[in-house]
Amino acid sequence: MSNNAAPSKPSSGASHHPLHGQISIPEGVSGASNEPALVALMERTGYTMAQENGQRKYGPPPGWNGPSPARGCEIFVGKIPRDVYEDELVPVFESVGRIYEMRLMMDFDGKNRGYAFVMYTEKREAKRAVRELNNFEVRPGRLLGVCSSVDNCRLFIGGIPKTKKREEILEEVSKVTEGVLDVIVYASAADKMKNRGFAFVEYESHRAAAMARRKLMPGRIQLWGHQIAVDWAEPEIDVDEDVMETVKILYVRNLMMETSEETIRQVKFID
């Protein structure tokens, strides 16, 4: 038959979509107990995989241009059996939306650490994953735990000299940490020319904030010769859009003592 005359192809097979013609097996996949299954997954989807800092990353999608998805697109997946990997997890989670990235936490022995993070391209897909895949039976009697991930990008830094301005704090923190987007400083109630001795620092990603927190831990770095305190700031509550449509009360703070109800009524808060 004419089909038999076709030249043989690499082991990827004609039914798969090869990456760049032939897959270069990345570190963390090469030598894995399920290496053939992981290679087949990459061939099928066109996604790449890489292992770094104790996690194996799958994604982003091939041809993705532009920034990462917005906050609220990531979910946390717990209670993963330690011998379950991307070749089993990806089909489950791609069934409810387009995966931007999956990060599976790995141990030195090659097994997973029981949890992963999955980021979708859209918030609605992440919400659907939580709704439909929590308690999904990935193996007989083994149920996954799926919930929204708190992607906190903000740190609280205390012990800041009260004479420092926002611009000075931004400059100093940017010298010792990477990925700083903004600094939020509150003026002292007693002296508007001074700050309250603390600030909130916003980073470009949770990873950047986590690296900064590690670097700024007490005893490692001083700012302006002062010992500082650092911790995660309380994350902003991500309110569901459907809930927001029902809200009819607006909360306004930091009003002056002499502000009257009549003055408030004259202000156009919302178009």
What does the pLDDT look like over 162-200, one tens digit per residue?
999 999 999 999 999 999 999 999 998 888 899 999 999
Question: For position 246, what pLDDT does the model report?
Answer: 66
Looking at 3.30.1310.10, 3.40.50.2300, 3.30.420.40, 3.30.70.330, the CATH number of the domain 154-232 comes to: 3.30.70.330
Q: For 3-7, 90-94, 267-271, which range has the lowest pLDDT when averaged over its residues?
A: 3-7
Asked whether 219 and 141 are in contact (CB, 8 A), the reply is no
Question: For position 264, what pLDDT does the model report?
Answer: 76
Residue 164 CB-half CA count within 13 A: 23
Asked whether 152 and 233 are in contact (CB, 8 A), the reply is yes
Question: For position 6, what pLDDT does the model report?
Answer: 41
Higher pLDDT, 194 or 248: 194
Burial of 81 (0-12, 13-18, 19+ CB in 10 A): middle
Contacts of 110 (CB under 8 A, 6+ apart): 32, 33
What CA–CA distance (Å, rounded) separates 73 from 169?
Answer: 31
In our burial notation (b when 16+ CB lie closer than 10 A, e otherwise), range 114-128 reads: bebbbbbbebebbbb
The mean of the pLDDT values for the chain is: 84
Q: What is the pLDDT averaged over residues 114-141?
A: 97
Per-residue pLDDT for 265 more than 90?
no
Q: Where in the chain is the domain with CATH 3.30.70.330?
A: 11-148, 154-232
> What CATH fold (topology level) applies to the domain 11-148?
Alpha-Beta Plaits (3.30.70)
Asked whether 207 and 126 are in contact (CB, 8 A), the reply is no
Packed helices 35-45 and 86-93: angle between N→C axes, nearest 10 degrees: 30
Q: How would residue 243 be classed by pLDDT, with cut points 50, 70 and 90?
A: low
